[in-house]
């Protein structure tokens, strides 16, 4: 099934109201109560969002079976938005470098490594 096949995707917003999702969300937040992205920056923040690591984009199988992560509201609307629009996060780690290995600065670094 191609990504252009409209029958492959649908609006799944109603599933967020289902008892099954509420159970999944509760389990995720109990197992991982802290925001994953904040933890990578050394910040302890309670997670409130159960987020699909890979956006399901209307795919029912990805919705139910896709990997989940716990995020705070701030990270969900900032870092996740960056990932979905730019393809990488822009937040900076302790060392002053972006945390996301997909950040373009690492592409530049890899391209300009001298041949050994
Ligand atoms: Zn966070």
Residue 1 lies in a domain: no
Q: Is 98 helix (H, G, I), strand (E, B) or coil?
A: strand
87 inside domain: yes
Report yes or no on 5 lying in a domain.
Answer: no
pTM: 0.75
Query: Phi, psi (5° rounding) for residue 5?
Result: -75, 110
| Residues with CB in 5 Å of ion ligand 1 | 35, 37-38, 45, 72, 75
Q: How far is the CA of 73 from the centre of ligand 1 (A)?
A: 7
Helix, strand and coil percent figures for the chain, each rounded to 5:
45, 10, 45
The reply to whether 84 falls in a domain is: yes
Residues 76-107: pLDDT tens digits? 999 878 888 898 888 888 888 888 888 998 88
Is 116 within a domain? no
Q: How far is the CA of 83 from the centre of ligand 1 (A)?
A: 14
The CA 37 to ligand 1 mean position distance, Å, reads: 5
Number of domains in the chain: 1
Q: How far is residue 70's CA from residue 115's CA, in Å, rounded to a whole number?
A: 41
Residue 4 tokens, joined: 């252009």
Separation of 35 CA from ligand 1 center, angstroms? Answer: 5
Question: Which residue range is the domain that position 15 belongs to?
Answer: 10-111
Where is average pLDDT lowest: 40-44, 46-50, 61-65?
Answer: 40-44
Gap between the Cα atoms of 106 and 96, Å rounded:
13
């Amino acid at each position: 099934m191609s990504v252009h096949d409209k029958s492959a995707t649908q609006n799944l917003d109603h599933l967020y109201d289902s008892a099954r999702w509420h159970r999944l969300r509760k389990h995720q937040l109990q197992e991982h109560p802290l925001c994953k992205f904040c933890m990578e920056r050394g910040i302890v923040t309670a997670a409130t969002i159960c987020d699909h690591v890979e956006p399901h984009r209307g795919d029912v199988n990805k919705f139910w079976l896709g990997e989940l992560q716990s995020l705070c509201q701030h990270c969900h609307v900032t870092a996740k938005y960056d990932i979905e629009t730019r393809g990488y996060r822009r937040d900076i780690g302790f060392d002053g470098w972006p945390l996301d290995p997909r950040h373009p600065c690492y592409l530049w670094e890899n391209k300009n490594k001298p041949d050994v």
